[in-house]
Amino acid sequence: MNEATLRNLLREAPVPGAEAAERRGGEVVMAAFAERAVGDRAQVHRPSLPRLALALAVATLFAALLLSPAGAAVRDWVDEVFTAGVRDAEPALTEIPSGGRLLVQSGAGPWVVQPDGSRRLLGRYDEATWSPRGLYVAATDGSTLSALEPDGDPRWSLSPGGELADPRWSASGFRIAYRAGSSLRVTGADGTGDGPIDREVAPIPPAWSARGLPLLAYVRAGGELRIAETEGGAIARAAAPALPGVSSLEWAPGDAALLEAGRSALRLREIGLDKLLARTRIGPPRELPLPRSATILDAAFSPDGRSVAALLLFGRGAPRSGVVLADPHGGPPRTLFATPGRLSELAWSPDGSRLLLAWPEADQWLFVPADGHGRVRAIGDIAAQFAPGRSTAAFPQLAGWCCRPSPLGAP
């Protein structure tokens, strides 16, 4: 194939839904242009309503920052942060603030980062997850699931067929759930007893009971939230409609509730459990109050379960990101951190003292004190640290911060 052929093929390759996309895009772009034009004309007299609302929202966000109990510390953070990242970021990760070990997924594969910042590439795996005490890592590579020592030595592998994704190690340590094509499967942590749980599930990672019970929450392909008992086969214990557009599930520490996160809402459902799990019940949904017009990029329960950290994105043209701590009991959210630019994900330290925020545009990780006091530590040059020998690299993803206290006996 010569270059001319390649050029023609690229030009002529069908783009799905191109006409409809062009029409929709045109409507959005022209509407934005009209809004801008109105704003410009009205500027002499008053700002347009959307701009005024945006300005008020930003002002409110920053006022909340400055007036909140964490205000004194946060004022400094606002000063320190600008669109290109935090000034004077540390050039390399030489220790993990708050301790613990990180699992980081780069283009080359998953890395284990030790508390002193030293790191080891585990191999060419697509995704990885910690075992509950961090003694092992489960990793997928195309159609293979493997359990690895944290130095990368494989303990076992299995290939049940299909493209594997979203491995999740149970809090008990005895089981690993993963998606295989459109199905959900569970295997024993020693690689034996592999079997299906459901044949048609949505492409969302399943979530194990936080207490180590053999209960797995997942979303079926049709949009049903389901809790299944995984011992002795798959026994559906409870079901309810999932949050539309749900992208992640997480059990509250203690299993009292299940968090559903989508782009536009965070929803909690209380979970009723009895000793035999036979009367597992999913309660009615309750939406956590968050600032309107925000897009939810990531969310996670704090290790003590007292708050849910939500990473929010405001605006499209000149985006701003914020982290709020939502109250699972419905109280008002508290803004912890805000910055111009687009953060991408968050992770709690195992002791709940800090949040790690990923900032790909700035090539930085930010370690933000969860109580709002103290200094934000910024580490720069993150992409290059997980791509040695390469001049450019994609920004890596957080795959876990090990380890929260786990049930006795877990590996």
Partner 1 sequence: MGTEGGTIEETGRRDAPSVRLERKLVREAQQGSKPALAQLYTAHWPRAHRAAYLVVHDGAAAEDVAQDAFLAAVDALDRFDRRRPFAPWLHRIVVNRALDWARREALRRKVGEAEDQPDTAAAPAGLGGELMEALAQLPPEQRAVVVLRHLLEYTPGEIARMLELPRGTVNSRLRRALDRLRDLIEAEG
Residues that bind partner 1 (CB under 8 A): 1, 3, 5-7, 9-18, 21-30, 32-34, 36-37, 40-41, 105, 107, 126-127, 165-166, 202-205, 221, 245-248, 262-263, 316-318, 344, 360, 391-392, 394-397
* CA atoms within 13 A of residue 369's CA, in its CB half-sphere: 13
Q: Which is nearer to partner 1, 263 or 329 (CB)?
A: 263
Measured between alpha carbons, how far is residue 117 from residues 276, 306, 350, 377 in Å? 44, 29, 16, 14
* Smallest gap from residue 111 Cβ to partner 1 (A): 12
* Smallest gap from residue 311 Cβ to partner 1 (A): 13
Q: Which is nearer to partner 1, 192 or 392 (CB)?
A: 392
* Smallest gap from residue 4 Cβ to partner 1 (A): 9
Q: Which is nearer to partner 1, 142 or 409 (CB)?
A: 142
3-state DSSP call for residue 43?
coil
Neighbours of 134 (CB within 10 A): 22
CA 109, distance to chain mean position in Å, is: 18
* Smallest gap from residue 392 Cβ to partner 1 (A): 6
Q: Which is nearer to partner 1, 77 or 395 (CB)?
A: 395
Cis amide bond preceding 402, omega within 30 = no
User: What beta strand segments (E) does 230-350 contain?
Assistant: 235-241, 246-251, 257-262, 266-272, 281-287, 295-301, 308-314, 320-326, 334-340, 345-348
Alpha-carbon span 240 to 226, nearest angstrom:
7
Measured between alpha carbons, how far is residue 94 from residues 99, 114, 116, 201, 378 in Å? 11, 9, 6, 41, 12
* Smallest gap from residue 387 Cβ to partner 1 (A): 11
* Smallest gap from residue 101 Cβ to partner 1 (A): 19
Q: Which is nearer to partner 1, 32 or 52 (CB)?
A: 32
Q: Which is nearer to partner 1, 143 or 344 (CB)?
A: 344
